[in-house]
């Protein structure tokens, strides 16, 4: 029976959204191999990740936030604030190690600010994080104004621009470690199960005795901390900071998470889906760049991909509901 069930499980997985993403990724990979001889080079594969490493690191924690039926629009601004705080402190004479610690504390403080207004005051996360998006960005511009800060410690620049293990940079290793850690937390721990339950129905979670406010606070603290860390990685990679660091990154991050199949309404999604979406976006952009397709067209293609990621699951769900005892979606949800 086990052997007979295995093909069925594999087929079910292939019919899922993650299976569809894997198919799309395979098509993009083959197209890139055919169209560009440089695509498979080790340097290009590392560069593929390195140019967007900060975004994909934050996308991991954003997966938790959206599964929990919340949103954090301030992540890009926190990345910029973290980078600018580091540059401002180093320029003022503080040692690089202490400046990194301060930046991480700033990230925690920003996450706590978001969490306080969302969990204690009861304001929608969309409104709160839209306000802090503006506030964090404004503070970053106040610190560095319109000038660029470039005088970082040599070890800090080397951490972002040189390989740590062979040609593999520190940021890529950090992403891999963080992905494994967060995957275990989301899929194998009580914290992960609570994240899904709260995102599916907060009232049910409250009745089950889950401290939803505390759980959400932890998620926003993690979001602020990881965003600030990503800002440090950006500063190290580029070797300079300005007030507009990571401007608009939050849109790319949310796009990746939604493309990965995480429901904007909460309660559904996985880090595997997010990883597949990351690989699709990075390989698509890289492949188009290798054949000299401009950035504006690349953005348009990614936008169409996001629209498709929203529409296709809805069409699939409609088919499933028609096949399931003839119940319309509303009746099916009520019976659940």
Task: Give the per-residue pLDDT at 326.
Answer: 42
Task: Give the per-residue pLDDT at 7.
Answer: 61
What does pLDDT average to in each consecutive run of 10 residues of the chain (336 residues)? Answer: 55 73 91 89 90 94 95 95 95 92 97 96 94 95 86 91 90 96 94 93 88 95 96 94 89 90 89 94 88 77 73 56 45 41
HSE, CB side, 13 Å, CA atoms: give it for residue 305: 26
Task: Give the per-residue pLDDT at 318.
Answer: 46
Would you list the domain boundaries of the chain? 18-325
The backbone region for 147, taken as left when phi is positive above 0, alpha when psi lies in -120 to 50, beta otherwise, is beta
CATH number of 18-325: 1.10.3470
* Alpha carbon separation from 210 to 13, 25, 68, 118 (Å, rounded): 31, 38, 13, 17
d(CA 141, CA 326): 57
Q: What is the CA angle 118-122-126, rounded to 5?
A: 50
Is the sign of the CA dihedral 104, 219, 119, 122 positive or negative?
A: positive
């Amino acid at each position: 029976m086990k052997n007979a069930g295995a093909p069925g499980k594999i087929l079910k997985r292939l019919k899922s959204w993650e299976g569809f993403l894997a198919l799309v990724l395979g098509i993009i990979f083959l197209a890139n191999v055919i169209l560009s001889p440089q695509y498979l080079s080790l340097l290009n594969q590392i560069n593929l990740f390195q140019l967007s490493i900060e975004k994909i690191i934050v996308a991991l924690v954003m997966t938790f936030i959206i599964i929990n039926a919340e949103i954090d629009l301030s992540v890009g601004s926190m990345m910029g604030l973290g980078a600018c705080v580091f540059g401002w402190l180093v320029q003022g004479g503080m040692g690089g190690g202490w400046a990194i610690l301060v930046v991480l504390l700033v990230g925690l403080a920003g996450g706590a600010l978001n969490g306080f207004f969302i969990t204690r005051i009861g304001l929608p996360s969309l409104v709160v994080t839209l306000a802090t998006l503006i506030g964090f960005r404004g503070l970053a511009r106040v610190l560095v104004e319109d000038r660029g800060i470039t005088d970082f410690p040599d070890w800090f620049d080397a951490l972002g621009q040189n390989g740590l293990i062979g040609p593999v940079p520190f940021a890529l290793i950090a992403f891999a470690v963080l992905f494994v850690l967060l995957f275990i937390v989301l899929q194998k721990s009580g914290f992960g199960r609570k994240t899904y339950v709260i995102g599916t129905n907060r009232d049910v979670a409250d009745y089950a005795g889950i401290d939803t406010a505390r759980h959400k606070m932890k998620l926003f603290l993690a979001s602020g901390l990881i965003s600030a860390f990503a800002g440090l990685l950006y500063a190290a990679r580029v070797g300079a900071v300005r007030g507009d660091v990571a401007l608009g990154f939050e849109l790319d991050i949310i796009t990746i998470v939604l493309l990965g199949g995480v429901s904007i309404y909460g309660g559904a999604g996985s880090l595997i889906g997010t990883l597949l979406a990351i690989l699709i976006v990075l390989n698509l952009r890289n492949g188009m760049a290798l054949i000299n397709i401009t950035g504006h067209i690349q953005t348009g293609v990614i936008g169409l991909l996001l629209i498709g990621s929203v529409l296709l699951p809805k069409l699939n769900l409609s088919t499933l509901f028609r096949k399931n005892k003839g119940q319309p979606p509303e009746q099916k949800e009520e019976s659940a």
